[in-house]
Amino acid sequence: MKHAVSPVVEAAGAVVWRLRQGRLQVVLVHRPRYNDWSWPKGKLEPGESLPGAAVREVSEETGYDVILGIPLPSLEYPLLDGRTKHVTYWAAQIAGRRDAAALIARPPTPRAPTEEIDRTRWLDVAAAAKKLTNVLDCEPLNALVETHAKGRLATRAVVIARHGKARRRSTWPGTELDRPLTPVGVQQSAALVPVLSAFGVTDIVTSHWARCRTTIEPYAEACSIVPRDSVHLTEAEHDSSPHRVEAEVDGLLRSGRDVIVCTHRPVLPTVLKVLVAHAVRAAEVTLPSKDPYLRPGAVLVAHVAHSEKGPRVVATETHRPPIA
């Protein structure tokens, strides 16, 4: 039996940037097969997440381990077979020492052969715009330059996670404290590892109830990070003291750390209230506003820029594990 072929080919990549003597520079790659200059990117492997594919492709084509930042405009290209290639892009920076724990969670990535990528080049953004072969590739570059001009390009990730799918209350003989994940929930937790690594998460704060701790456990083990339990992030403590949740999240936004916060659906409105209070308008309208806010096992990535006025959420995105 023939399987249906998707009309869309999903791919991911990044515009890797740096500052040199005050000048914004980006890295381009040359593909000898097409004799073109473009951004590092490539198709998703089966079961792979978009963020995971982006950092893998950048590593293969440039040799750089990167941490993803704000999302940039996606692009679509028609393919010769009639399908459409959809490429999701992020801004990205080369990982530093503070990102070391996140890199531990990534598998080794071999370099692309020279038949695929034979040159990489750092260029000032104006020169890069002229060097790009496909004019459409200027769209993510223009967004990067505009964001840099606003002082919002350098960001840290505050990731909000809803725990994976858990056993129903009606079928669990124990307490809320120890109600576990289902097998699907366990798979969702494992699928979060490459996503969290892509955004450079090096700090974990979680409700100490079992379903939250189990959700972040695969990433904690992969990175050798010791999670910090927060009693305030449980449903029970939130019901009695929601202001403590607000204080916890506000402190993490101000910390300048790449952190994941794992909690429960009833706690999410309070968490989102804090994000809204710190969000620029363009980011505020992207935040979920209706129950259930996040599906089980999903994460909301808030990209936080720091200024004299304090932390500002400048962009958000949501990712769900490719598990039912």
Average pLDDT (115-134) is 97
Confidence of residue 244 (pLDDT cuts 50, 70, 90): very high
**Is the separation of the CB atoms in 37 and 129 below 8 Å?**
no
Q: Which of 4-8, 261-265, 274-278, 280-284 has the lowest mean pLDDT?
A: 4-8
pLDDT-wise least confident of 40-44, 255-259, 320-324: 320-324
φ/ψ bin of 126: left (φ > 0), alpha (ψ from -120 to 50), beta (otherwise): alpha
Residue 1 has what pLDDT? 44
Mean pLDDT, range 236-259, rounded to an integer = 96
Per-residue model confidence (pLDDT) at position 238: 94
Q: Give the three-class secondary structure for 60.
A: helix
**pLDDT tens digit string along 45-94?**
999 999 999 999 999 999 999 999 999 999 998 888 889 999 999 999 99
Place of tokens 């995971």: 52
- CA distances, 53 to each of 87, 107, 226, 242 (Å): 11, 12, 26, 37
**Residues 232, 103, 54, 6: is their CA dihedral positive or negative?**
negative
Helix/strand/coil (H/E/C) assignment for every residue in 186-229:
HHHHHHHHHHHHHCCCCEEEECCCHHHHHHHHHHHHHHCCCCEE
Measured distance between the N- and C-terminal CA atoms of the chain, rounded to whole angstroms: 23
* C-alpha 68, offset from chain centre: 6
Count each helix (H run) and each strand (E run) in the chain, helices first.
10, 13
Which domains can be identified in the chain, with CATH numbers?
A: 8-149 (3.90.79.10), 156-319 (3.40.50.1240)
Tell me the pTM: 0.95
Give me the pLDDT at residue 80, please: 86
DSSP 61-124: HH---EEEEEEEEEEEEE-TTS-EEEEEEEEEEE--GGGHHHHHTSPP-PPPPTTT--EEEEEE
pLDDT bucket at 322, cuts 50 / 70 / 90: confident
How does pLDDT run across 158-216, given as a tens digit for each residue?
999 999 999 999 999 999 999 999 999 999 999 999 999 999 999 999 999 999 999 99
Band (307; pLDDT cuts 50, 70, 90) = confident
Take residue 226 and report the two structure tokens written for it. 């010791």
Rounded to the nearest integer, the mean pLDDT of the chain is 95
How many whole angstroms separate alpha carbon 249 and alpha carbon 267?
A: 11
Q: Which long-range contacts (CB under 8 A, 24 or more apart) does 235-244 make?
A: 235/176, 235/207, 235/209, 235/264, 235/266, 235/267, 236/176, 238/264, 238/266, 238/267, 238/270, 239/266, 242/270
The answer to whether residues 197 and 106 touch, using CB atoms and an 8 Å cutoff, is yes
Nearest 5°: CA angle at 157, between 132 and 314? 70
